[in-house]
Structure 1
Amino acid sequence: MWKEEDNKLKKTFQFKNFVEAFGFMTKVAIEAERMNHHPWWANVYNRVEIELNTHDAGNIITDKDRKLAEIIDKLATS
């Protein structure tokens, strides 16, 4: 579940290993580029932390963030 904190949607994903985590990040990168809406993220081994907010709207959570979060959740389970 995404957590709303500091005007950001935040979630940590955990995978079996680094390759799975990196593959997930690649899929997210393609969708983010399509939307022209890029997350802040960090990756260490099998963990990916993602934060979403909309810079153009004053660094707040918008529908754009919620839509990307929904897409990211689907990618994490595919």
Structure 2
Amino acid sequence: MIKNTDLLAKKSQHTETALDVASLPAYLAATPGWTQDGPRIVKTYQFKNYYETLSFINAIAYVIHAEDHHPEMVVTFNRCVIKFDTHTVNDGKGGISENDFICAAKIDAIFEQSFS
């Protein structure tokens, strides 16, 4: 069983191996609110205003940089949609790796600590 605390303790590593489809439900269970959207995982965060939204982006910037795993982000007035996938898996076609869930757990921790 995968735990959120296990993901928080890990560091993203270069990988060319996607997660097995059968393992995805366990990883999704460890990162509540994240959903699979084809070859990526996605979560929407809600905020009171644009300032909070941008503060969140700034707060997660260090983690994203330190993990060297960069998501696609859609930023609006009071919402940020984050999409993670790993471009190096599946012979460069992309897909979901453990790195996506490591970063998802770390971003969730920042949100819970500062914005919920």
**TM-score with structure 2 length normalisation?**
0.65
Q: Which has the higher strand share?
A: 1
TM superposition shift of 1:73: 0.6
TM superposition shift of 1:19: 0.8
2:73 match: 41
Q: Alpha-carbon deviations, 1:4-57, whole Å to 9, x = none?
A: 011100010001111111111111111000011000001010100010000111
2:44 match: 12
Unaligned runs of 5+ in 1: none
User: How many residues are matched?
Assistant: 78
Describe the SS at the equivalent of 1:55.
coil
RMSD value, Cα = 0.8
Unaligned runs of 5+ in 2: 1-32
1:74 pairs with 2:109: yes
Amino-acid identity (%) = 31
Larger Rg: 2
**TM-score with structure 1 length normalisation?**
0.95
Displaced runs of 4 or more, over 4 A: none
